[in-house]
Amino acid sequence: KAGVTQTPRYLIKTRGQQVTLSCSPISGHRSVSWYQQTPGQGLQFLFEYFSETQRNKGNFPGRFSGRQFSNSRSEMNVSTLELGDSALYLCASFTGTPGLNTEAFFGQGTRLTVV
Amino acid sequence: AQSVTQLDSQVPVFEEAPVELRCNYSSSVSVYLFWYVQYPNQGLQLLLKYLSGSTLVESINGFEAEFNKSQTSFHLRKPSVHISDTAEYFCAVSDSYNQGGKLIFGQGTELSVKP
Protein backbone atom coordinates (compact mmCIF):
# COMPACT_ATOMS: atom_id res chain seq x y z
CA LYS A 1 0.00 0.00 0.00
CA ALA A 2 1.54 3.30 -1.06
CA GLY A 3 2.16 5.87 1.66
CA VAL A 4 1.38 9.56 1.72
CA THR A 5 3.01 11.24 -1.26
CA GLN A 6 4.03 14.86 -1.19
CA THR A 7 5.31 16.72 -4.22
CA PRO A 8 7.64 18.30 -4.84
CA ARG A 9 10.17 17.22 -2.19
CA TYR A 10 12.23 20.39 -2.53
CA LEU A 11 11.33 23.85 -3.73
CA ILE A 12 13.15 27.19 -3.92
CA LYS A 13 11.09 30.33 -4.41
CA THR A 14 11.69 34.05 -4.32
CA ARG A 15 10.05 36.44 -1.87
CA GLY A 16 6.72 37.67 -3.17
CA GLN A 17 6.04 34.61 -5.29
CA GLN A 18 3.36 32.07 -4.58
CA VAL A 19 3.68 28.31 -4.24
CA THR A 20 1.40 25.26 -4.37
CA LEU A 21 2.24 22.04 -2.59
CA SER A 22 0.51 18.75 -3.25
CA CYS A 23 -0.40 15.81 -1.05
CA SER A 24 -1.82 12.47 -2.13
CA PRO A 25 -3.16 10.54 0.87
CA ILE A 26 -3.11 6.82 1.36
CA SER A 27 -5.78 5.14 -0.73
CA GLY A 28 -9.05 5.12 1.15
CA HIS A 29 -8.13 7.91 3.57
CA ARG A 30 -10.46 10.88 3.39
CA SER A 31 -8.89 13.13 6.03
CA VAL A 32 -5.79 15.21 5.40
CA SER A 33 -3.96 17.63 7.67
CA TRP A 34 -1.06 19.99 6.97
CA TYR A 35 1.71 21.09 9.31
CA GLN A 36 4.58 23.56 9.10
CA GLN A 37 7.87 22.57 10.73
CA THR A 38 10.57 25.15 11.47
CA PRO A 39 13.53 25.08 13.88
CA GLY A 40 12.16 28.03 15.82
CA GLN A 41 8.43 27.28 16.01
CA GLY A 42 8.49 23.50 15.77
CA LEU A 43 5.51 21.68 14.30
CA GLN A 44 2.45 23.85 13.85
CA PHE A 45 -0.96 22.82 12.61
CA LEU A 46 -2.10 24.56 9.43
CA PHE A 47 -5.43 23.00 8.46
CA GLU A 48 -7.44 19.81 8.23
CA TYR A 49 -9.76 18.61 5.49
CA PHE A 50 -12.34 15.86 5.37
CA SER A 51 -14.41 15.10 2.28
CA GLU A 52 -13.45 18.40 0.65
CA THR A 53 -14.46 20.44 3.70
CA GLN A 54 -12.09 22.32 5.99
CA ARG A 55 -12.70 21.09 9.55
CA ASN A 56 -10.04 22.99 11.41
CA LYS A 57 -7.67 25.85 10.72
CA GLY A 58 -4.54 26.83 12.60
CA ASN A 59 -3.36 30.29 13.49
CA PHE A 60 -1.76 31.30 10.20
CA PRO A 61 -2.34 34.39 8.06
CA GLY A 62 -4.74 34.32 5.14
CA ARG A 63 -1.79 33.92 2.74
CA PHE A 64 -1.95 30.24 3.65
CA SER A 65 -4.83 28.39 2.08
CA GLY A 66 -5.72 24.87 1.14
CA ARG A 67 -8.27 22.68 -0.50
CA GLN A 68 -9.17 19.07 -0.95
CA PHE A 69 -10.44 17.43 -4.09
CA SER A 70 -13.06 14.73 -4.54
CA ASN A 71 -10.32 12.07 -4.79
CA SER A 72 -9.04 13.22 -1.35
CA ARG A 73 -5.85 14.72 -2.78
CA SER A 74 -5.05 18.01 -1.14
CA GLU A 75 -3.13 21.13 -2.05
CA MET A 76 -1.93 24.00 0.03
CA ASN A 77 -1.06 27.40 -1.35
CA VAL A 78 1.08 30.15 0.08
CA SER A 79 0.85 33.53 -1.61
CA THR A 80 3.23 36.49 -1.34
CA LEU A 81 6.00 34.35 0.12
CA GLU A 82 8.10 35.71 2.97
CA LEU A 83 11.52 34.54 4.14
CA GLY A 84 9.87 33.20 7.29
CA ASP A 85 7.79 30.78 5.25
CA SER A 86 10.89 28.67 4.69
CA ALA A 87 10.04 25.39 6.34
CA LEU A 88 9.32 21.71 5.96
CA TYR A 89 5.64 21.31 5.13
CA LEU A 90 4.21 17.98 6.20
CA CYS A 91 0.98 16.38 5.15
CA ALA A 92 -0.74 13.62 7.08
CA SER A 93 -3.62 11.42 6.07
CA PHE A 94 -5.87 9.68 8.53
CA THR A 95 -7.61 6.38 8.86
CA GLY A 96 -11.26 6.37 9.78
CA THR A 97 -13.48 9.41 9.84
CA PRO A 98 -13.87 12.26 12.31
CA GLY A 99 -15.67 10.90 15.34
CA LEU A 100 -13.96 7.52 15.19
CA ASN A 101 -10.50 6.46 16.21
CA THR A 102 -7.95 7.74 13.75
CA GLU A 103 -4.22 7.38 13.18
CA ALA A 104 -2.08 9.83 11.24
CA PHE A 105 0.35 8.75 8.53
CA PHE A 106 2.80 11.42 7.46
CA GLY A 107 4.45 12.07 4.14
CA GLN A 108 8.14 12.91 3.83
CA GLY A 109 7.36 16.57 3.44
CA THR A 110 8.15 19.38 1.04
CA ARG A 111 11.17 21.47 1.95
CA LEU A 112 10.39 25.06 0.89
CA THR A 113 13.20 27.61 0.83
CA VAL A 114 12.32 31.25 0.22
CA VAL A 115 15.19 33.46 -0.93
CA ALA B 1 -6.24 25.82 24.52
CA GLN B 2 -4.18 22.69 24.38
CA SER B 3 -0.42 22.74 24.73
CA VAL B 4 2.37 20.21 25.02
CA THR B 5 5.66 20.67 26.83
CA GLN B 6 8.61 18.42 26.25
CA LEU B 7 10.88 19.13 29.14
CA ASP B 8 14.19 18.24 27.51
CA SER B 9 15.29 19.55 24.13
CA GLN B 10 18.27 17.19 23.97
CA VAL B 11 18.97 13.90 25.70
CA PRO B 12 22.39 12.31 25.23
CA VAL B 13 22.66 8.73 26.41
CA PHE B 14 25.03 5.80 26.01
CA GLU B 15 24.02 2.68 24.12
CA GLU B 16 22.21 0.05 26.24
CA ALA B 17 21.37 2.63 28.92
CA PRO B 18 17.74 3.38 29.86
CA VAL B 19 16.12 6.61 28.72
CA GLU B 20 13.06 8.66 29.58
CA LEU B 21 11.74 11.48 27.40
CA ARG B 22 9.31 13.66 29.32
CA CYS B 23 6.07 15.09 28.05
CA ASN B 24 3.42 17.12 29.86
CA TYR B 25 0.22 18.40 28.31
CA SER B 26 -2.39 20.95 29.12
CA SER B 27 -5.99 20.45 28.11
CA SER B 28 -9.42 21.04 29.57
CA VAL B 29 -10.99 18.22 27.60
CA SER B 30 -10.51 14.51 27.13
CA VAL B 31 -7.39 13.88 25.05
CA TYR B 32 -5.59 11.38 22.92
CA LEU B 33 -1.81 11.26 23.23
CA PHE B 34 0.86 10.26 20.74
CA TRP B 35 4.59 9.89 20.38
CA TYR B 36 6.12 10.35 16.93
CA VAL B 37 9.71 9.81 15.81
CA GLN B 38 11.44 11.72 13.03
CA TYR B 39 14.68 10.65 11.38
CA PRO B 40 16.73 13.24 9.42
CA ASN B 41 15.03 14.45 6.25
CA GLN B 42 12.04 12.24 6.89
CA GLY B 43 8.43 12.69 7.88
CA LEU B 44 6.99 11.61 11.20
CA GLN B 45 6.36 8.00 12.14
CA LEU B 46 3.90 7.03 14.84
CA LEU B 47 5.68 5.31 17.71
CA LEU B 48 2.75 4.71 20.03
CA LYS B 49 -0.58 6.18 21.04
CA TYR B 50 -2.96 6.35 23.96
CA LEU B 51 -6.63 6.55 23.04
CA SER B 52 -8.36 4.80 25.95
CA GLY B 53 -8.09 1.74 28.15
CA SER B 54 -4.79 0.65 29.68
CA THR B 55 -2.67 3.63 30.63
CA LEU B 56 0.54 1.81 29.68
CA VAL B 57 1.09 1.53 25.94
CA GLU B 58 3.95 -0.17 24.16
CA SER B 59 5.54 -0.02 20.73
CA ILE B 60 6.95 -2.92 18.75
CA ASN B 61 10.54 -1.70 19.16
CA GLY B 62 10.69 -1.63 22.94
CA PHE B 63 9.43 1.85 23.79
CA GLU B 64 6.60 2.34 26.25
CA ALA B 65 4.69 5.32 27.58
CA GLU B 66 2.35 5.75 30.51
CA PHE B 67 -0.62 8.08 30.54
CA ASN B 68 -0.90 9.78 33.92
CA LYS B 69 -4.06 11.85 34.03
CA SER B 70 -3.45 13.35 37.47
CA GLN B 71 -0.01 14.60 36.46
CA THR B 72 -1.06 15.30 32.85
CA SER B 73 2.00 13.46 31.62
CA PHE B 74 2.82 10.94 28.93
CA HIS B 75 6.51 10.13 29.37
CA LEU B 76 8.30 7.85 26.92
CA ARG B 77 10.70 5.22 28.21
CA LYS B 78 12.98 2.54 26.87
CA PRO B 79 14.99 0.24 29.16
CA SER B 80 17.91 -0.16 26.77
CA VAL B 81 18.55 2.10 23.78
CA HIS B 82 20.36 1.36 20.52
CA ILE B 83 22.37 3.57 18.21
CA SER B 84 19.48 3.31 15.74
CA ASP B 85 17.16 5.05 18.22
CA THR B 86 18.99 8.31 17.55
CA ALA B 87 16.29 10.63 16.21
CA GLU B 88 13.97 13.44 17.23
CA TYR B 89 10.90 12.49 19.23
CA PHE B 90 7.70 14.47 19.36
CA CYS B 91 4.87 14.21 21.84
CA ALA B 92 1.45 15.26 20.51
CA VAL B 93 -2.08 15.66 21.80
CA SER B 94 -5.47 15.90 20.18
CA ASP B 95 -8.83 16.30 21.80
CA SER B 96 -11.35 13.52 21.59
CA TYR B 97 -13.61 15.53 19.27
CA ASN B 98 -10.92 15.98 16.65
CA GLN B 99 -9.85 12.35 17.10
CA GLY B 100 -6.30 12.97 15.96
CA GLY B 101 -7.17 15.16 13.02
CA LYS B 102 -5.65 18.22 14.63
CA LEU B 103 -2.45 17.42 16.47
CA ILE B 104 -0.72 19.81 18.83
CA PHE B 105 2.98 18.97 19.09
CA GLY B 106 5.64 19.59 21.67
CA GLN B 107 8.92 21.19 20.63
CA GLY B 108 10.64 17.85 20.26
CA THR B 109 13.43 16.02 22.08
CA GLU B 110 16.59 15.13 20.25
CA LEU B 111 17.76 11.73 21.45
CA SER B 112 21.43 11.07 20.78
CA VAL B 113 22.67 7.56 21.52
CA LYS B 114 26.43 7.25 21.79
CA PRO B 115 28.48 4.05 21.57
Q: What are the angstrom distances between the C-alpha of B59 and each of A27, B37, B64?
A: 25, 12, 6
Q: Which residue of A has its CA nearest to B103?
A: A45
Closest CB to B108: pick one of A42, A55, A58: A42
Contacts of residue B40, defined as CB under 8 A and 6 or more positions apart, other chains included, come to none
* Average confidence (pLDDT) over B12-32: 91
Compute how many other C-beta atoms are within 10 angstroms of the C-beta atom of residue B105. 21
Q: Quick one: residue B16, left, alpha or beta (phi over 0 = left, psi -120 to 50 = alpha)? A: left
Distance from CA of A22 to the nearest CA of B (A): 15
Report chain B residues touching chain A, CB-CB < 8 A: 34, 36, 41-46, 49, 51, 90, 92, 98-108
- d(CA A23, nearest CA chain B) in Å: 13
Q: How far, in Å, CA of A87 to CA of A67, rounded?
A: 20
DSSP notation for B12-41 = EEETT--EEE-EEEE-SS-EEEEEEEE-TT
For each successive 10 residues of chain A (115 residues), what is the average pLDDT?
91 98 94 93 92 91 96 96 97 76 85 97
Mean pLDDT of B92-114: 84
Identify the residue among A4, A41, A43 best suited for mutation to test binding to B, counting B beta carbons within 10 A and taking the highest. A43
What integer is the mean pLDDT of B42-50?
90
Tens digits of residue pLDDT in B10-21: 999 999 999 999
> How many CB atoms sit inside 10 A of residue B50's CB?
19
Reply yes or no: is the peptide bond before residue A98 cis, omega within 30 of 0. Answer: no
Residue B97 banded pLDDT, cuts 50, 70, 90: low
| Cα–Cα distance for residue pair A34/A24, rounded to 1 Å | 12
